[in-house]
Amino acid sequence: MLLSAFSAVLGFSASAAAALTYKGVDWSSVVVEERAGVSYKNVNGASQPLEQILRDNGVNTVRQRVWVNPSGGTYNMAYNINLAKRAKNAGLGVYIDFHFSDTWADPAHQSIPSGWPTDIDNLAWKLYNYTLDASNQFQDNGVQPTIMSIGNEITAGLLWPTGGTSSWYNIARLLHSASAGIKDSRLNPKPKIMIHLDNGWNWNTQNNWYTKVLQQGPLVSSDYDMMGVSFYPFYSSSATLSSLKSSLNNMANKWGKELLVVETDWPISCANPAYAFPSDAKNIPFTAAGQSQWIKAIADVVASVPKGNGLFYWEPAWIHNANLGSSCANNCMFSNSGQALSSLSVFRNI
């Protein structure tokens, strides 16, 4: 009922979501959880590898974050190659999310990796060689990612301070270098190259960023194939489904790239949210059924947009970090014991 109501209001049919090509989740922390003793189970309580549970519930692609030289090695290239092999062996596509940092990269953090140069000429050269080498390592290990994102939520730039928004030219040059490394690699077939910003519902953010970066010269349209956005309900009451639809439509009409929502979540527990939820989501319950409704609603928005092509849920199995960075207590699609919730099967129907 709720989904039908959203569909009627936003002007598209619930069946539109069947057009999505990429139906995925970020599973970057699965090895962290397994090392902590977690044994994942399907909805019937039978222990299975997470990749099998995801595949059996309709997921066809997994997203993995890559850090350059993290303390302890978690999320580095070796970690990601082994994880990508598991995904490929299960028949899943792999989407590599380069953070270009030794730790988290997001709108508030984009630190240059330790030991990397800071002047733009040498930093751009280093970045080119890093993406070239990383791409070749995946190829040499028998993994051909379907998507590679050159940066993670880079609305405020990347590789700070050199690639901050005080120099839009530097941002453009760094992105061109990152793309060139992938294109010049031995990867065959080549992946789709993505640029990823946050606040996908905010057309002004998307328009201002791409307009400024593309005016600089170094970054050209052929350097990337996809525009990815994050879309969370936790941080602004303005993040409505209707605003997302409007923003993505404008992006499609102006730039003609494939469009994906590459990060989203919905809580099964949220007693004290820090911000009011969007008005067209207030009737969605904080339950597994609510997760399904939220994902279906976003899938319908994406599929209704020209070249809208995919949706990824962020870290649904990271049960020891269940708030997933929000003010809500739990946004996972697995119980505390590692058993899949009913909501996971929504990926069969989008």
Distance, in Å, from the CA atom of 122 to the CA atom of 162, rounded to the nearest integer, reads 11
Query: Within 10 A of 217 (CB to CB), how many other CB atoms are there?
Result: 10
Take residue 338 and report the two structure tokens written for it. Answer: 């590692």
**SS3 letters across the chain:** CHHHHHHHHHCCCHHHHHHCCEEEEECCCHHHHHHCCCCCECCCCCECCHHHHHHHCCCCEEEEEECCCCCCCCCCHHHHHHHHHHHHHCCCEEEEEECCCCCCCECCECECCCCCCCCHHHHHHHHHHHHHHHHHHHHHCCCCCCEEEECCCCCCECCECCCECCCHHHHHHHHHHHHHHHHCCCCCCCCEEEEEECCCCCHHHHHHHHHHHHCCCCCCHHHCCEEEEECCCCCCCCCCHHHHHHHHHHHHHHHCCEEEEEECCCCCECCCCCCCCCHHHCCCCCCHHHHHHHHHHHHHHHHHCCCEEEEEECCCCCHHHCCCCCCCCECCCECCCCEECHHHHHHHHC
C-alpha angle with apex 102: 98 to 107, nearest 5 degrees? Answer: 65
Closest by Cα among 296, 330, 347, 305 to 2: 296
Catalytic positions are: 153, 263
User: Is residue 179 a contact partner of residue 223, using CB atoms and an 8 Å limit?
Assistant: yes
